[in-house]
Amino acid sequence: MSQEPAPAAARQQLEPAAADAVRAYAARTRENADRLAAVLEDIATHGLPAAEECTPWEDLREQHLARLVAQRPAVA
């Protein structure tokens, strides 16, 4: 993608609500990227944590699936 913005005439303006939603998504994405970068920097500085201190990925998967099921509306 080009780093230069397209001429104003070639751009389609968003509705204010859509623009706000895009900005909110960008902010969430930036926060997640910053959190990941902090974890990676910590690993680079201090090394990997001991396996005993970590949560197995299977447990994390089950917790996430349970959250998804809880958010899903019940089907009759």
pTM for the complete prediction?
A: 0.58
Element (H, E) at 20: helix 16-46
Element (H, E) at 64: helix 57-71
Complete DSSP assignment for 28-51 = HHHHHHHHHHHHHHHHHHH-PPPG
CB–CB of 36/44 below 8 Å?
no
C-alpha distances (whole Å) from 72 to each of 62, 66, 68, 69 are: 15, 10, 6, 5
Interval 4-61: pLDDT, tens: 766 667 899 999 999 999 999 999 999 999 999 999 999 999 999 999 999 999 999 9
